[in-house]
Chain A
């Protein structure tokens, strides 16, 4: 992974000093609320329901074992011992003290970490596929590009006060585990017909209260042009994005209002002035950064490991974990492993300081000391020998990191909701727990198979409910906490925004409605058909009727029609 040089360290240290002075002036009454707000947000600090929340940046999800131990220590000494991994790779601490944040940032700087641009109207922490560099079928490793982009966008002077937040993702290939189409700007690595590496560039995507999938603004951008093109696009947005209404200020609204063709024209016309300029990337620079992401010292191993195969055959529990929590790896004899943060009854994405320490230990013992944080709010060990999986699993189980639910219904993605966040209308976490409790049976869960369930506590959609196969959104209905259900959302190659099935339901009725939706799937699916595919084939309406437990005659008629 990328290791800091003196310049990287100096910039982070100077940022800490700057923010320390800003905090001092705020506490001394020299800086007003509004002035301080802009400054603290760009250092990750929100003022929310109970207490300030600090969002620590984990750019493109890469974190070393020593960094993870530092996060554990900070979680223990500045918070209440539990941190929350967000859907954008970052770590959120919900109980920090405003006056101690500069100390936290100074500690982070000691391990080359920070909270720069983790919030506010600026270019946010860049994201990518958590299996970048190890996933089979990747066109190229997106991490060097994400790091190049991180450096360019860090403290970029022209873009410190954009109309609104600006999220950027890099995908290693067409599978798009980074979900570039739900970002303000997405770069998908591609090769053109002559085999040259570059990007398909997407813009105008975003979730929030107006969910829109991004569109292609440039079919092929040669890699040397990455930063000059980004500058052109950001400038068009900075000058033309709406600033009169925070709900209409994202680039997606600009793209919708002028159309993608006009957006293309404006960006290209701006880019003509910047193209081939001094910010054009060089081979030497790309090689310098890529060298940081060279594969670790893999052993040369056979694809099949007899000890692993033996354990898998004779230990069913292990086999279930392997099925859901390990992932194909491009290096024979290796696998990538998800350390689950979805233990039943626990808030999705929450990890105790002890679990962070355990994850760091496991990374050091089994995975070259590297971890990743994933959009699914889990941790990932990217490089584990298959022969070590059994030992790793046993250790992970002791640490409560081996819930075998990855990709299944109970691998719920959720924002912290109304228990913590002042924006939320509803409490996502108790709902997540209730759904998990309802689907506690592992055999039944495995039978349901791949199903993405996402919960957001409000329209800001931090739980990405629009792209859950089942999405649940907290809404306020005359003071009552209610939930609106969407179906059919997806990320990746088949990205889609879910459709609302009907009126919202009170919290107590939601788990039963989810169960009826799932039962409907089980009764309607074809052999081996995934939930999302059944929803697409059968249509949301039929599921909606099932969810509200009404009008079954309609279903019967439909079934007859289908079956002839």
Chain B
């Protein structure tokens, strides 16, 4: 677990632990570490009310993470519980998380922190931010953060709400 991450435009301390189930471990029986925990979707589904009670009684914030095969629709009714949702990238080349993030933001309206975890390289930060991530667990965040500024513009809309280039005032009016 990285002790620092990029959040928004700054490097901050990481206050969350990611819970991963061991091989054969049942979601209903997983032990929860102390503090704020991102639990796998299966654990959330199995122990939703335990987790909510833990939040009320101990003040730990609620978080969940999705793997590339998880359907974000399964969280649609629960989004209000979470302070952080993580999306896990098993490999940099597995781009399902880009669509998962887009759906969480645009389709289901999730407004909390959306964190990219796993194989997250600085060279993907610009794209990750555009599909709705605002937190990034990346190696060497102090130097990686520069890559958020790799591109100053874009043609198309995305979950970041940027208008397509052709719909912006900056687009030159058509020559009459």
Kindly state whether residue B142 has any CB partner on chain A within 8 Å.
no
Q: Are A279 and B95 also in contact (CB < 8 A) when A18-B123, A157-B127, A157-B131 are?
A: no
- When the two chains form their complex, are residues A14 and B151 in contact, meaning their CB atoms are under 8 A apart? yes
Interface residues of B in 66-120 (CB under 8 A from A): 68, 92-96, 98-100, 102, 107
B4 proximity list for chain A (CB < 8 A): none
Q: Are A158 and B158 also in contact (CB < 8 A) when A7-B153, A284-B174 are?
A: yes
B107 proximity list for chain A (CB < 8 A): 273
Kindly state whether residue A210 has any CB partner on chain B within 8 Å.
no
Which of the residues A7, A18, A35 comes within 8 Å of B165, measured between beta carbons?
Answer: A7
A162 proximity list for chain B (CB < 8 A): 95
Query: How many A residues touch the partner, as a band?
Result: 35 or more
- Across the interface, name the chain B residue whose C-beta is closest to A288: B174
Q: How far is the CA of A361 from the CA of B117 in the complex (A)?
A: 54
- When the two chains form their complex, are residues B95 and A152 in contact, meaning their CB atoms are under 8 A apart? no
- Across the interface, name the chain A residue whose C-beta is closest to B153: A7
Kindly state whether residue B167 has any CB partner on chain A within 8 Å.
yes
Kindly state whether residue A156 has any CB partner on chain B within 8 Å.
yes
A287 proximity list for chain B (CB < 8 A): 174
Q: Which of A235-243, A344-352, A398-406 contacts B (4 or more CB under 8 A)?
A: A235-243
Kindly state whether residue A155 has any CB partner on chain B within 8 Å.
yes
- When the two chains form their complex, are residues A158 and B99 in contact, meaning their CB atoms are under 8 A apart? yes
A35 proximity list for chain B (CB < 8 A): 92, 121, 123
- Per-residue B-contact encoding for A9-45, CB less than 8 Å = 1, 0 else: 0110011011000100000000000110011000000
- When the two chains form their complex, are residues B156 and A160 in contact, meaning their CB atoms are under 8 A apart? no
CB A266 to nearest CB in B, in angstroms, measures: 13
Which of the residues B93, B96, B158, B172 comes within 8 Å of A238, measured between beta carbons?
Answer: B96
CB B89 to nearest CB in A, in angstroms, measures: 9
Q: Are A160 and B154 also in contact (CB < 8 A) when A35-B121, A39-B123, A285-B166 are?
A: no
- When the two chains form their complex, are residues A11 and B131 in contact, meaning their CB atoms are under 8 A apart? no
CB B118 to nearest CB in A, in angstroms, measures: 12
CB B115 to nearest CB in A, in angstroms, measures: 17
- When the two chains form their complex, are residues A155 and B155 in contact, meaning their CB atoms are under 8 A apart? yes
A154 proximity list for chain B (CB < 8 A): 155
B131 proximity list for chain A (CB < 8 A): 157-158
- When the two chains form their complex, are residues A161 and B153 in contact, meaning their CB atoms are under 8 A apart? no
Name the residue among A161, A238, A288 with the largest chain B CB count within 10 angstroms: A161
Kindly state whether residue B60 has any CB partner on chain A within 8 Å.
no
Kindly state whether residue B157 has any CB partner on chain A within 8 Å.
yes
B55 proximity list for chain A (CB < 8 A): none
Name the residue among B102, B153, B166 with the largest chain A CB count within 10 angstroms: B166
Kindly state whether residue B15 has any CB partner on chain A within 8 Å.
no
Kindly state whether residue A121 has any CB partner on chain B within 8 Å.
yes
- Across the interface, name the chain B residue whose C-beta is closest to A152: B156
Q: How far is the CA of A10 from the CA of B154 in the complex (A)?
A: 10
Q: Are A278 and B157 also in contact (CB < 8 A) when A35-B121, A273-B107, A285-B166 are?
A: yes
- When the two chains form their complex, are residues B166 and A282 in contact, meaning their CB atoms are under 8 A apart? yes
6 example contacts (A-B, Cβ-Cβ < 8 A) are as follows A22-B123, A35-B123, A157-B126, A239-B100, A278-B157, A279-B157
5 smallest A-B Cβ distances: which pairs? A161-B95, A157-B130, A157-B127, A285-B166, A151-B155
- A residues near B, CB below 8 A? 5, 7, 10-11, 14-15, 17-18, 22, 34-35, 38-39, 121, 151-152, 154-162, 227, 235, 238-239, 243, 273, 277-279, 282, 284-285, 287-288, 291
